[in-house]
Amino acid sequence: MQVNQSKISLSDVKDEVLAVAVLQGKELPKELSEVTKHMRKEEFEAKQGQTHVLSTLGKFKFSKLLLYGLGEEKDLNLDFLRRFAGSAVRYAVSVKSASVSIALPNVKNASEAAAQAIVEGAVLASYKPIKFKSKQDDYFEVKNISVVSKENIDEALKRGSTLAHSQNYVRDINENPANIATPQVLAQAARDLSKQQGLACTVFEKSDLQKMKMNAILAVNQGSVLPPVLVIMEYNKDKKDLPFYAVVGKGITFDSGGISIKPAKGMQEMKYDKTGAVTTLGIMKAVSELKLPIRLIGAFAATENMPSGSAQKPGDIITAYNGKTIEVLNTDAEGRLILADTLAYVAERKPQAIIDLATLTGAIIIALGRYRIGLFSNDDNLAKNIFDAGEQTFERVWRMPLDKEYSEMDKGDFADVKNIGSEMGDAGSITAAAFLQEFVGDCKWAHLDIAAVDAIAEKHSYLDKGASGIGMRLVVESLARLAKK
């Protein structure tokens, strides 16, 4: 989707559709009064999310006016503008208009943020998970978005477009099922992205992992015929004077549960257990395109978790990369195992902060529902940075505790730690995070449990059903804020 700015009056818009957002109790734009003056107030009250379409009857060069309610000004949230733009794109699709103009609302002291949010909503709404459909012609695509404003918003439009297209990149890869998105395919995606964006990229194959004693990754991989990989991408690798951070993602390309096999119902959704790794790719793409003034590592291990005669078994004890021994009580708690080796390896590089993303626990859905990401951290400033970034991007987080008592729950009877804190499932997401903390050393670290938000069950204003890419804009915004500090 192409995004541009139109520095024209609303009355001069030539696209078939013009979308205008209105605050409740505020007047409609006077230059559109030829169309709106006969509209009854009860037809459109500008309540949040309300839409109303008017035909211009030839009085303007555009033929359809879409009005969108933003609700009361005191309740205005930037995400309402993403929803507005998403609704505009979806309406344009319904009338088969390849171009749509969206008016930038008058938001106090936030024109750039508003413009960025509008572009994000429009571009995200344009993505359809249809690449495996045999009849592509059945789906109409909006190809051009014009944001109508006389303000200087060019940089905001570019930033919003970069972020949203990077999120769609994440969604597109994540929709690939396990027979297509193998560990080797994810590694190749990292190589291709690195070549395109000028990143350094190292892919450690199974023989490398054996030499490196990445035994936790190898243990999870034992049941699969496909070998594992560990991918390390680096942005601004040689610029040692820049602030240095790392992002780590969980890359289980399919999670059957292993010997502790999952129920059949819903198991097809385990293709999304690679979301953390794929989101890491999107973060590296966005950070490099935005040219953030930081040095960044993007790392992920990728493997399947499958049952077979060679699969790891409950009761197995393995020695992780950092020398800690792990008692495997449940082979379905495998994500934390591959993260353990990856985090320990990255921590050796001494970044100023590590942020990991993982579809780690179903328990986080019970704790927070599907509206917030679980945030765990050993550093208050880093946690606040991520929380504030989440409020800005509307990829919201909620900080969970990491008291010592939870780490005590992870202590093993026959090894240093066990891979589940309680067989009863008590504090499942917290003990999982406490387990990860054992492998970050002295680094400042934050863990994002994205299991509740990795996929959308029913489409909303700007995200279709399927892979969401949620977490990508959150982490990029967090890194941008860290860079400023």
- HSE at residue 445, side-chain half, CA atoms within 13 A, is 24
Alpha helices in 249-334 (DSSP H): 275-290
**Using CA atoms, how far apart are residues 255 and 178, in angstroms rounded to an integer?**
9
Cα 159 to Cα 117, 243, 294, distances in angstroms: 10, 21, 17
66 Cβ contact partners less than 8 Å away, ≥ 6 residues apart: 17, 18, 19, 20, 51, 52, 53, 87, 88, 91
**What totals of helices (H) and strands (E) does the chain contain, helices first?**
14, 19
Q: Are 400 and 429 in contact (CB under 8 A)?
A: yes
**Using CA atoms, how far apart are residues 422 and 438, in angstroms rounded to an integer?**
17
CA 25 and chain centroid, separation: 35
**Using CA atoms, how far apart are residues 400 and 447, in angstroms rounded to an integer?**
10
- Beta-strand pair 144-148/295-305: unpaired
Q: If we measure between CA atoms, which residue out of 324, 280, 329, 332 comes closest to residue 302?
A: 280
Exactly one of 250, 274, 336, 473 is catalytic; name it: 336
Single-letter amino acid code for the residue at 297: I
**Phi, psi angle pair for 350, to nearest 5°:** 60, 50
Active site residue 82: no
Cα 107 to Cα 2, 46, 400, distances in angstroms: 24, 15, 33
Residue 431 neighbours by CB distance under 10 Å: 27
Q: If we measure between CA atoms, which residue out of 58, 60, 51 comes closest to residue 90?
A: 51
Q: Where are the beta strands (DSSP E) in 220-339?
A: 229-235, 244-255, 295-305, 317-319, 325-327
Active site residue 336: yes
Q: Determine the length of the chain.
A: 485
40 Cβ contact partners less than 8 Å away, ≥ 6 residues apart: none
Q: Where are the beta strands (DSSP E) in 64-180?
A: 64-69, 99-103, 144-148
403 Cβ contact partners less than 8 Å away, ≥ 6 residues apart: none
Query: What are 467's strand-pairing partners?
Result: 455
Exactly one of 191, 213, 262, 313 is catalytic; name it: 262
Q: If we measure between CA atoms, which residue out of 431, 379, 378, 366 comes closest to residue 405?
A: 431
Point out the residues that are catalytic: 262, 336
